[in-house]
Amino acid sequence: MENKETDEVEKLKTKFMSAWHNVKYSWVLKSKTYFSRNSAVFLLGKCYHFKAEDAENPLAGSSSDEDGDLVTANVEAFRRDFASRVWLTYREDFPALRGSALTSDCGWGCALRAGQMMLAQALLLHFLGRDWTWSESLNLQTLDTESWTSSVARKLVASFEVSLQGERPPDMDPLPLVQGRAQEADVHMGEVYHRTVVSWFGDSPTAQLGMHRLVEHGRSSGKRAGDWYGPSVVAHILRKAVEEATDPELRGITVYVAQDCTVYCADVIDSHGQRNQQRPDADAQAGNRAVIILVPVRLGGEQTNPEYFDFVKGVLSLEYCIGIIGGKPKQAYYFVGFQDDSLIYMDPHYCQSFVDVSTSDFPLESYHCPSPKKVPFSKMDPSCTIGFYSRSVQDFEKISEELAKVLRPSAKEKYPAFTFMKGHGQDYDLFGPPALERKEWPFLGASRRAGATAGDFVLL
């Protein structure tokens, strides 16, 4: 009888906390984000410009209307790209996590959600490529009042639909028809993979990469449901989750986690082609496995050292980068890009209702973010995990070459955020378990950077 009363109290407590977190985390998307027209915007290796190239050239022959069309196209391309990334947030009313009465991750699961978003981006790259965008990305409804860009988006979509509804000529060229059907098939396959990837992150015990599985894997690191997870711990949890996933589609990908801020090249190359001991039936994929490289780093002491801001920008400018699990102290974000001295991120601190992804037509809208957000580099927590996607050994060689330029020490920055080493980790007597955290290097003091000028802005 006493145990039953205790369970009822726990359930009431959980419901109360869920209601409180739902109120607390429901206002986040209402704030507006402004982007400068005068600076490039980088999003996971892609660069967007919100200003016409010839706008300040008095000899340019283009009209103001053409300039406006170019700006509009760039803005919409950015919005389409951003809204196509998988957005994973707090959820409530999902099946209770094992060993607890928790039916929501509100207030504690943000780092795991950020890790899920990074992993989802890697899987989208793996199956669909970087140029893929969701066909419904511009139709997402924001919680803000109608902005200029959303109005333009609807006008563009409406005009496109009108053009599609026009009468077809009686004599159709068979070649465009065949090409159209092939394009439709590609779109269909893209949507199939898109929905499959999202379903792997469902909030149920059977979801391959869902919250329930991640919490279970966290037990080996001394974590349990309700605890706060750091970026480096999340990296190792993601590695275990992918390693033990049973879906055949996930057999062609694995996760490598750097040890003590060092990427051992031979270990990554082996990961591309090694036999999976836990999944021996995956031999057909041997020699052709993609690798997600996760590098837990610390970019300062109590605060992020400003000398590393350019390094972070350089990383997010690379096409191989899948983002950064970071944030502010005790508040994790998924960083996906930057403009000037501000990071662009996807925020998991928004409580949404449970979605049953086991149905074939489950709604996808809540898994895509309609509104980008920004935070100054100066507020970035120094502890973070950087991710890269390597499809092959050749890709890894390119990644290491590109990162060598970004990691090159400067006169002010004597210590790189992480390093590449030839050989295997065991060649350097690293027999102990991988370190989940590392202490700070003796960083130099750094001066504060001047703030960016305002200029003209685009409201997204």
CB 217 within 8 A of CB 225: no
What is the C-alpha to C-alpha distance for residues 456 and 460, in angstroms, rounded to an integer? 13
* Closest to 294 measured CA to CA, from 102, 118, 450: 118
CA distance 131 to 134: 10
How many of the other CB atoms lie within 10 Å of CB of 11? 13
**Cα(333)–Cα(148) distance, integer angstroms:** 27
Identify which of 344, 235, 43, 31 has the alpha carbon closest to the alpha carbon of residue 335.
344
Number of other CB atoms surrounding residue 220 within 10 Å: 10
Asked if 300 and 439 count as a contact pair (C-beta separation under 8 A), the reply is no
Helix (H/G/I), strand (E/B), else coil: 218: helix
Look up residue 1 and give its two tokens: 């009888």
Give the H or E element holding residue 324. strand 321-328
Catalytic residue numbers?
110, 347, 349
The answer to whether the beta carbons of residues 228 and 381 sit under 8 Å apart is no
Tally: H helices and E strands in the chain: 10, 15
Per the CB < 8 A criterion, the answer to whether 333 and 115 are in contact is no
Other beta carbons less than 10 A from residue 342's beta carbon: 21
Q: To 5 degrees, how large is the angle CA 171–CA 177–CA 182?
A: 175
**Closest listed residue to residue 343, CA positions, set 231, 441, 452, 419:** 452
Q: Are 114 and 333 in contact (CB under 8 A)?
A: yes
For the CA atoms of 318, 323, 328, 331, the dihedral, rounded to the nearest 10 degrees, stands at 170
CA torsion sign for 59, 64, 65, 67 is positive
Q: How far apart are CA 224 and CA 102, in angstroms?
A: 11
At 307, phi and psi to the nearest 5?
-65, -15
CA dist., res. 460 & res. 33, Å (int): 6
Class of residue 14 by CB neighbours under 10 A (exposed 0-12, middle 13-18, buried 19+): middle
